């Protein structure tokens, strides 16, 4: 990822687009024109499912490592989804059946040195939209998670993965699991911060499915906390707002 980002501008220019529905897109903040200020990072986005990207559209030097990482992360996500499903008292396959592991999106972030890090952030506070995110970060640090009112450092450790519960997991589990609010500080070090995240999201272009709290979890004592919606509304809401805190779950709250 470092090699990709540090290529001359002309090598990266063919990927510049704000159209996140493309197979591959390279841009700075996806919500640049909706947010109050720019964040200090660039992001390479690769859509890996349900319509897999042509692997050859991700050019060297990062094609093979990214695609390999995506496969490995998916094995982790599949296992975790099974365990979380059992944690809800449902079968191992249940959660996977809801959104599947088909909506797979890889985001590779590059946070260059920021000369005035106190004036902006690398990535504003937010929760991830899907079921789960599996994230690998290099050793620079800067990721923080909100614990109550306090931002706590998620310090990198070699070989460690960070897993975020997403908004959809909060909704379908009727708040048994809560999505994690997190942010990345602007990078004050000369060493770039690099992270690669795999998002497991609802399938696009499938408006025959209604998402909402899983019926099997509901009872008169545990009524649904969220209304049902289709995926077009879910993505429409996510992409038409700036990245901000946990507003996606708030939108669907009853
Ligand atoms: O760069 C990171 O560590 C966090 C990335 C992230 O939160 C995201 O892509 O949603
Ligand atoms: Fe995130």
Ligand with smallest separation from the Cα of 140: 1
d(Cα 85, Cα 90) in Å, to the nearest integer? 5
- β-partners of residue 104 are 200
What total number of domains does the chain contain?
1
Q: pTM score > 0.90 for this model?
A: yes
Residue 253 pLDDT > 70, yes or no? yes
181 CA from centroid of ligand 2 (Å): 8
User: Which residues lie with the beta carbon below 6 Å from any ligand 1 atom?
Assistant: 107, 109, 123, 128, 135, 137, 143, 182, 184, 195, 197
pLDDT tens digits along 163-202: 999 999 999 999 999 999 999 999 999 999 999 999 998 8
Instruction: Give the pair of three-digit tokens for residue 215.
Output: 């019926």
**CA of residue 222 to ligand 1 center, whole Å:** 32
* b/e map 83-115, b = 16+ CB within 10 Å: ebbeebebeeebbbebbbbbbbbbbbbbbbebe
Measure 195 CA to ligand 1 centroid, in angstroms: 7
Residues 6+ apart with CB under 8 A from 234: 129, 168, 202, 211, 248
Q: Which atom of ligand 1 lies at the shortest distance from residue 164's CA?
A: 7
What does the pLDDT read at residue 235? 83
Residue 73's nearest CA partner among 202, 200, 203, 158 is 200
Return the best residue to mutate from 1, 104, 105, 107 for the ligand 1 pocket (most ligand atoms within 8 A of CB).
Answer: 107
- Most confidently modeled of 54-63, 179-188, 230-239? 179-188
> Domain holding 105: CATH number?
2.60.120.330
DSSP code, position 183? E
Determine the residue of 112, 121, 182 to mutate for testing ligand 1's pocket, defined as the one with the most ligand atoms within 8 A of the Cβ atom: 182
Task: Give mean pLDDT, residues 237-251.
Answer: 76
Which residue's alpha carbon is at the smallest distance from atom 2 of ligand 1? 195
Residue 56 in this model has a pLDDT that exceeds 80: no
Residue 166's pLDDT is 94
Give the pLDDT confidence score for residue 241 in this predicted structure: 62
Report the alpha-carbon distance of residue 63 to residue 236 in Å, rounded: 30
d(CA 8, CA 30): 22
Name which of 126, 136, 134 is nearest 104 in CA terms: 134
Report the distance separating Cα 185 and Cα 199, nearest Å. 21
- Residues with CB under 5 Å of ion ligand 2 are 128
Q: Domain range spanning residue 134?
A: 2-251
Q: For the segment 113-167, what is each residue's pLDDT rounded down to a tens digit?
A: 999 999 999 998 999 999 999 999 999 999 999 999 999 999 999 989 999 999 9
The pLDDT of residue 52 = 67
């Amino acid at each position: 990822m470092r090699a990709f980002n540090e290529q001359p501008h002309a090598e990266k220019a063919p990927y510049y687009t704000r159209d996140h529905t493309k197979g591959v897109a390279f841009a700075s903040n996806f919500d640049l024109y909706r947010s109050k200020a720019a964040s200090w990072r660039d992001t390479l986005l690769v859509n890996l499912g349900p319509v897999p990207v042509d692997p050859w559209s991700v050019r060297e030097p990062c094609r093979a490592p990214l695609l390999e990482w995506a496969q490995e992360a998916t094995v982790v996500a599949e296992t975790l989804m099974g365990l979380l499903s059992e944690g809800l008292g449902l079968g191992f396959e249940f959660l996977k059946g809801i959104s599947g592991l088909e909506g797979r999106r890889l985001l590779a972030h590059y946070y260059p040195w920021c000369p005035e890090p106190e004036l902006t952030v690398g990535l504003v506070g937010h929760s991830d939209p899907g079921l789960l995110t599996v994230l690998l970060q290099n050793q620079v640090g800067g990721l923080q998670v909100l614990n109550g009112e306090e931002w706590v450092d998620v310090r990198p450790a070699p070989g460690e993965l960070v897993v975020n519960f997403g908004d959809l997991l909060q909704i379908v589990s009727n708040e048994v699991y809560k999505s994690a609010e997190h942010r990345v500080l602007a990078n004050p070090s000369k060493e770039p911060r690099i992270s690669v995240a795999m998002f497991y999201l609802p399938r696009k272009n499938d408006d025959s499915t209604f998402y909402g709290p899983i019926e099997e979890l509901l009872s008169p004592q545990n009524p649904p906390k969220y209304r049902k919606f289709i995926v077009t509304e879910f993505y429409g809401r996510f992409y038409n707002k700036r990245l901000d805190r946990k507003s996606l779950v708030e939108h669907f709250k009853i």
